[in-house]
Amino acid sequence: PKTDIVFLKVHKSASSTVMNILFRFGETHNLTFAFPRGGGFQLYYPQHFLASFVQGFSPLSPRRFNILCHHMRFLQPEVQKVVPSSAVYFSILRNPVQLMESSFVYYKGASAFSRVRSLQEFLRQPHRYYNPASGDRHYARNLMTFDFGFNPDGDVSPERVQLMLKAIEASFDFLLISEYFDESMVLLKEMLCWDLDSVVSFPLNIRDSSTKSPLPDSVVEKLKAWNRLDWEIYTHFNRTFWERIDRDIGRERMRREVKALRERQAELARTCLQGTGRVAPKDIKDSSLRPLQHGGARILGYNLKQGLDRELERTCRRLV
């Protein structure tokens, strides 16, 4: 199994669930994590990553960390100072239309969103609300582009887009797709030579569907145009994702693996969870299991079954 890993945790793309998988794997295998200096939960985001952001990093004794997986704005030369040269680099992408809808609710306090009632209103005159000079602009435009280290207001010419895609391909071994999360986990397991249980998860940081609303086609088109760089990244790597599956795994085996993953997940859910799964924050009995609530989103969580033996309780707690 590969144990040296860089995961670029792209915002609002099921990345908290992937991070949980990495935490559990790292803990089981006694690996060293690159945690943010000063006890934060992001690596000084939205600044470009610097090695000095990592707790315990010193240029004088360049000790290496096995796993780097907290939110950061990617800058590979600095990342390379922190992890071994053998590290596997990967990230996860999400359809920019859903990503921005999620971002709008979650980062409602961002300067571009705080004065509008709806995403439709924002998209009618985005430049009226969006200021390219504001420090939190990235939440409102091309958020994935920004997290990968590029300019979210950059040129969208075919030449520039190709350069950006080539740069991402040069830095990352593979990119997962959150809309195909189970297939992504099978691919992850293949690429890292891990076993099935290492990539089983319960969905984390999921918001209540009552705050979600379907978007009209006209809005979808505007969202794609406004997030054109994200759209280019997503469509390109969604295509290469399936090409890689066809090349390395095959659709038939992929179906079998996904089925096995879902069965294992359902088995763990029956073992660990009370009731049918995710519940509203107010219904979570154990306050230590209550997820962080942010912006206008209601983030759901889980209740564990009572009376689990100690080892099993620990496993279940780690999953939620």
Neighbour tally for 13: CB within 10 Å: 26
- Residues 176-215 pLDDT 10s: 999 999 999 999 999 999 999 999 999 888 888 777 778 8
303 is written with which tokens? Answer: 């209740």
133 is written with which tokens? Answer: 């000079």
The predicted model scores a pTM of 0.95
Beta bridge partners of 68: 6
What average pLDDT does the chain have?
95
Report yes or no: 103 and 12 within 8 Å, Cβ to Cβ. yes
Q: Residues 6 or more apart from 21 whose CB is under 8 A from it? A: 185, 188, 198, 199, 201
Q: Confidence class of residue 129 from pLDDT cuts 50, 70 and 90?
A: very high
Give the H or E element holding residue 89.
strand 88-93
Report yes or no: 85 and 92 within 8 Å, Cβ to Cβ. no
pLDDT, position 210: 74
116 is written with which tokens? Answer: 């509008």
Neighbour tally for 4: CB within 10 Å: 18
Half-sphere exposure of 87 (CA within 13 A, CB side): 25
Angle subtended at Cα 205 by Cα 200 and Cα 207, rounded to the nearest 5 degrees: 120
Give the H or E element holding residue 226.
helix 217-226
All domains of the chain in start order, with CATH: 5-319 (3.40.50)
As a whole number, mean pLDDT of residues 113-141 equals 96
As a whole number, mean pLDDT of residues 87-109 equals 96
